[in-house]
Structure 1
């Protein structure tokens, strides 16, 4: 399709990238041309068109031409003139022909306000491709042909589809297609050492940034944007990111050309960036495992309560169990108790080692052989008889393993690390670097025979004898801390225990603490007031997660939060913590605070666990004695969750407040300046520039607010599209598999195959998707001016901040403040950060600079 563009006035014409406005020059709204009008009256530049939109200030107009959308935007920032220079008789849906008057503008008035009269004519159809033909920059008279817009569709026309072969040759999901495209655009398989995902981003560890075509990646329909974190490429997709990652892994062995030479990555990540990237790369892949364990545990708890299955407690009663109880017990416990194996695997993989080493080392550290299974009858139980290398079972501290030594009366043992995380993380990292060291000196002829064994031994032995015992010391210290809490009156000690319980879960030392509390209950039926607090802490996290689900404006974030809550209700908080609360941090802290309140109430009442085999989560109430106490504990669970939910309503914000954030930074910088030797003149100059930054955010407060609502609505459109695409993809795959099933049958039925193929070819939700797409496009067009205003405001803020940074850099003694001042970008990009489109900037001031400040050496 070709659309001819004629000069609407006598004018000078130039290409879009030469526009003085960076938003138009960057083609953020689309490609096109720019004219400099010499006359006041504009005529239609199209042979036939329909007016689809008239902006309130009459400076911009939308047109439909042969099914394509165009925008004519007269002047730059002329929206601020509130329509004064513009007049028009156009109405929405009015047809116009070439030469028909569309509007007039007082160019003199525009120029008197120091505004540009540049007028972009923009092609805005997002689902079509544009090529501008026969275009030359220069002077044109009104009505002269300027160029031809050649338009092609990204989608096959329905008629074309209907005329295709009735057979199904191949079916590829959009995720498979996207995966292939991404592999090519990042420079081929050889140009990335790792690919993984967090909740919203696909992450590549890139070797050579010069080979990455980021522009083309951003053009993919499911991509929201990209971000670089050192050498890590983050492709912002949303909740679908894991599906693309899975397809890339499936395609991992496809043949792709080796990338040509280029400039290697020279800008290393900061320490904090590396830490956050490592957390995402190691933690995020485990979330599905934790969530599956949580859901199965919930089902198991319900079946136990209604008497369908038997609660096997710690697993010692498995010999007496029925098959259903045993299977559900194993399904619910394995993912949690052996989660360390997955952490070890992912850690080794993330740091570039052989993940199979990680798997083997993880299995060894989780081996039940270390538990002395079957050796209970010969175990030493009397502390005075403990001997090095002998298997012991300590009743006081719940220690079970091969004795090394004691600290006070606490035994340090070699044991299995079921339910822990930290030993596996350490082991995974050690395995990678030990492997690298061994490779350097081992002859290649014997490498395959000995290297793996050396790596495993040199990793496992230090963990068993050094790192593991060190963590045991931490457990030992926590045990005494917990016992000391019991002496704090008014239930506060129990409240503090509830508050610190979830942080203990993160470290893995909670297992030793829990066993320490459980042993007296199991051996001497001594009730524990602390054990209920552990479950109360769970409901603090549940309430906080529910708060995120209710308050977030991000549909994908809400979906993840809601999906992790059922597991939490039945006692499994890892999915809640790792997928929602901990990444945002504030919900995690709110959950801990709510747990303190709930734990304190429980401590005052004196609720204690009497049943050592109590269920988890809400059904834990069955572990306390008496209906009254059970009801009270249930009420405490609800109160704790409600307090967390209430605190979330008081504290939650999708994004930072730009003005308050900048004011906070101003105060921090001002306090730093007071400890420097800068002259009063320089300090005053800096403070004036800081105030200018704050004033800019104050002036643009309303713009940021409107843009946030715009992004919220865009997110809703995208969530609706994703739901439809998932539905279509699922059914299309089912139909495709049906065709293949009929084709592979020994006795093929041609009619059945033909019918199945026809059903596959005809099934489509394109109409429903197109309806949402059209609504989204209309919404984008209606708010085009808002987006432009926002981009202008950001650019203005950015320039003000840069002026301050430039001035700071000239003051050599305090030039480090220039790095600190990059934190202003968190206010500048608050909306993008709040909705997962950009990373928050993290900065830690160097110790050397802090020391100089303290000694007043700067």
Structure 2
């Protein structure tokens, strides 16, 4: 096979009807699987003759180009050449003409990575919050089996977050998803986590600074700065990105026959040591730097520090670098008995859910409303990831408004001088952590409560006043596209009448695999008793043949109708047929289209079973046979039902897959 994948990809795209004819493309072990807008535009014969293409198969609504063992390489070349998205994913940004801003790309990337796990995140947050609440009210003992099991159910997705993110990040970077999963699993592997508490210390880096890091092990003599990566975000995302680069590089030179196992070996053996030695520590030190900076800012002004911390906290959470603040808090609690820094952020969650509640009121998108309600209840217990990644961040301005509300909450906590005296829980259950065990400071506690209430009000009010137009932008665009589809003739419901006198039969009973399989489209067949074919609907003739054996028309309601008189009757070269219409001619239901001699056709050894096929069946919700047995010309035989709401959504989504 030719190794010039770019040239092969260009040829394939050209012969499937061009990039604009492609809705989506994916691949399996041997085949490129295209979903085409119009399968008739594909050039089967040229594709089959192309060096590097084994054959072409049309099945299950897909146009399948069989490549063989090198399909993954050809697939990558097709994506790049056509600027397409694979497997129904959001398109990656190719090409120099893409003027999308970096911040928009980053937001789309982060939101996309978290999108598939929002449900479990919401569930985990709600369960965890309820369990903590039960313990706080004395309904469950923290040493009981029930508490520990339920807490594990709620906390597991957060603890093993790198594993989940390994899969979803790999999908975004078009990497083997199970390699991404393996990268996340290694970062949370017990012995890797255990290094952080090992009593064996081989040395330390940056002693006496905010970046002080102990070295507990080495890799072939190279010191490894051990970090705890459970519940982190940025390290695994950076690691999977690096791994995708290595995997794509390995795919280019590893021989095809051993790619299946050698490429994963090469990818993991290079990616994971580099992650543990370089990527992980660097991303962790970013958090440490933020923690040290905020400590200095607090010394300058607690109120200003509160405003800054409240404003940026959710941004730090997005990238998973907020753990540097937690590290500072742990150190302060150990040495001072209290910490003022992390305490500035504990009510930010209520600004976030204030915005979310406003969005629940404002949105017309029922899917968004459903997700936002779950995110709201999760946020009540302090778990805002579902709110951030699934609701506010993708819409940008609502997220910014929540950061403003967070800044207000942080400033209030700073003004009251509220401090943490233990590591806090989540949301409302963080309030007890502000109680000084040496003597209750009522004003500190009041400050925290006031901050939470005002943050909620500010977030809600800002979204109501300034954020509404940003809530349903994407939804409104989809609705507009759906309206366009509804306005197109192809999605309007219609009814077709029988073009013949005779007996109706299901298309599956036609003794021809092309028709009976539904590959050409859905419909019915008629065994005619007279030799005059009439129009089944009002419309225009779009296809006639000199042989007279078939005609094609498009109804005024958009149905593309193929009527084929008999099987293999093209071989009669027009004998026994007389075409009564011309291509482009307007016709009314019942107008004569073709005369044919039933006896002559049968004497020549051919059947006259006549399929009536809707070749654009996929643009309808259902093509339903409504007549059975004997019919007369003009009797209703097919009901073409319009697309349902979810099918329209799928059509819009398919169109959106093109970059």
In 2: Cα distance, 1:460 partner to 1:574 partner: 27
In 2: Cα distance, 1:490 partner to 1:449 partner: 56
Matches within 5 A, 1:503-582: 503-521=315-333, 523-582=334-393
How far off its partner does 1:267 sit?
5.3
Q: Which residue of 2 aligns with 1:489?
A: 301
In 2: Cα distance, 1:591 partner to 1:208 partner: 42
Work out whether 1:402 is the aligned partner of 2:402.
no
In 1: Cα distance, 2:22 partner to 2:472 partner: 41
Runs of 5+ unmatched residues, structure 1:
1-185, 195-205, 216-253, 312-320, 405-410, 659-706, 715-835, 842-858
Change (3 A) 1:271 1:345: farther
Does the 8 Å CA contact 1:398/1:516 hold for their aligned counterparts? no
How far off its partner does 1:543 sit?
1.2
Change (3 A) 1:432 1:618: same
Which residue, 431, 445, 454 being the options, matches 1:630? 445
Secondary structure at the counterpart of residue 484 of structure 1: helix
How far off its partner does 1:544 sit?
1.3
- Equivalent residue pairs, number: 409
Change (3 A) 1:403 1:493: farther
Which residue, 121, 135, 138 being the options, matches 1:307? 138
Does the 8 Å CA contact 2:339/2:421 hold for their aligned counterparts? yes
Does the 8 Å CA contact 2:23/2:37 hold for their aligned counterparts? no
In 2: Cα distance, 1:375 partner to 1:400 partner: 10
Which residue, 31, 37, 55 being the options, matches 1:212? 37
Which residue, 278, 282, 300 being the options, matches 1:470? 282
Work out whether 1:386 is the aligned partner of 2:386.
no
How far off its partner does 1:439 sit?
3.2
Matches within 5 A, 1:790-829: none
How far off its partner does 1:471 sit?
1.4
Q: Which residue of 2 aligns with 1:423?
A: 235
How far off its partner does 1:570 sit?
0.6
How far off its partner does 1:351 sit?
3.0
Work out whether 1:361 is the aligned partner of 2:183.
yes
Does the 8 Å CA contact 2:170/2:180 hold for their aligned counterparts? yes
Which residue, 138, 151, 156 being the options, matches 1:334? 156
How far off its partner does 1:512 sit?
2.1
Mean CA deviation greater in 443-452 or 492-501:
443-452
Change (3 A) 1:531 1:278: closer
Q: Which residue of 2 aligns with 1:459?
A: 271
Change (3 A) 1:490 1:440: closer
Does the 8 Å CA contact 1:294/1:570 hold for their aligned counterparts? yes
Work out whether 1:323 is the aligned partner of 2:145.
yes
Work out whether 1:347 is the aligned partner of 2:169.
yes
Work out whether 1:370 is the aligned partner of 2:192.
yes
How far off its partner does 1:208 sit?
5.1
Q: Which residue of 1 aligns with 2:464?
A: 649
Instruction: Give CA deviations for 1:220-272 in whole Å, capped at 9, x if unaligned.
Output: xxxxxxxxxxxxxxxxxxxxxxxxxxxxxxxxxx97765369x9863565363
How far off its partner does 1:420 sit?
1.8
In 1: Cα distance, 2:211 partner to 2:452 partner: 29
Secondary structure at the counterpart of residue 611 of structure 1: coil
Does the 8 Å CA contact 1:188/1:256 hold for their aligned counterparts? no
Change (3 A) 1:528 1:469: same
Q: Which residue of 1 aligns with 2:428?
A: 618
Secondary structure at the counterpart of residue 535 of structure 1: coil
How far off its partner does 1:608 sit?
0.9
Does the 8 Å CA contact 1:427/1:463 hold for their aligned counterparts? yes
- Point out which structure has higher relative CO (alpha carbons under 8 A, 6+ apart): 2
Does the 8 Å CA contact 1:491/1:604 hold for their aligned counterparts? yes
Instruction: Give CA deviations for 1:332-358 in whole Å, capped at 9, x if unaligned.
Output: 222112212211112223333221111
Which residue, 253, 262, 267 being the options, matches 1:441? 253
How far off its partner does 1:398 sit?
8.5
Change (3 A) 1:403 1:494: farther
Instruction: Give CA deviations for 1:780-822 in whole Å, capped at 9, x if unaligned.
Output: xxxxxxxxxxxxxxxxxxxxxxxxxxxxxxxxxxxxxxxxxxx
Instruction: Give CA deviations for 1:627-662 in whole Å, capped at 9, x if unaligned.
Output: 73434422321111111111112212235999xxxx
How far off its partner does 1:508 sit?
0.7
Does the 8 Å CA contact 1:344/1:362 hold for their aligned counterparts? yes
Work out whether 1:191 is the aligned partner of 2:21.
no
In 2: Cα distance, 1:187 partner to 1:657 partner: 29
Secondary structure at the counterpart of residue 299 of structure 2: coil
Does the 8 Å CA contact 1:386/1:403 hold for their aligned counterparts? no
Secondary structure at the counterpart of residue 216 of structure 2: strand
Instruction: Give CA deviations for 1:521-546 in whole Å, capped at 9, x if unaligned.
Output: 1x235212222222121111111111
Which residue, 399, 403, 419 being the options, matches 1:608? 419
Does the 8 Å CA contact 1:370/1:401 hold for their aligned counterparts? no
Matches within 5 A, 1:12-31: none
Secondary structure at the counterpart of residue 526 of structure 1: coil
In 2: Cα distance, 1:585 partner to 1:463 partner: 31
Change (3 A) 1:260 1:469: closer
Q: Which residue of 2 aligns with 1:110?
A: none
In 2: Cα distance, 1:441 partner to 1:500 partner: 44
Runs of 5+ unmatched residues, structure 2:
1-19, 41-58, 67-77, 85-92, 484-650
In 1: Cα distance, 2:265 partner to 2:134 partner: 45
Does the 8 Å CA contact 1:367/1:416 hold for their aligned counterparts? no
Matches within 5 A, 1:38-187: none
How far off its partner does 1:604 sit?
1.2
Change (3 A) 1:275 1:569: closer
Does the 8 Å CA contact 2:363/2:472 hold for their aligned counterparts? no
Give me the CA root mean square deviation. Answer: 4.2
Which residue, 394, 404, 410 being the options, matches 1:583? 394
How far off its partner does 1:600 sit?
1.1
Secondary structure at the counterpart of residue 225 of structure 2: strand
Secondary structure at the counterpart of residue 469 of structure 2: coil
In 2: Cα distance, 1:525 partner to 1:310 partner: 30
In 2: Cα distance, 1:481 partner to 1:304 partner: 35
How far off its partner does 1:615 sit?
2.1
Instruction: Give CA deviations for 1:403-461 in whole Å, capped at 9, x if unaligned.
Output: 78xxxxxx982323222222212222332332232233334565555442221111112
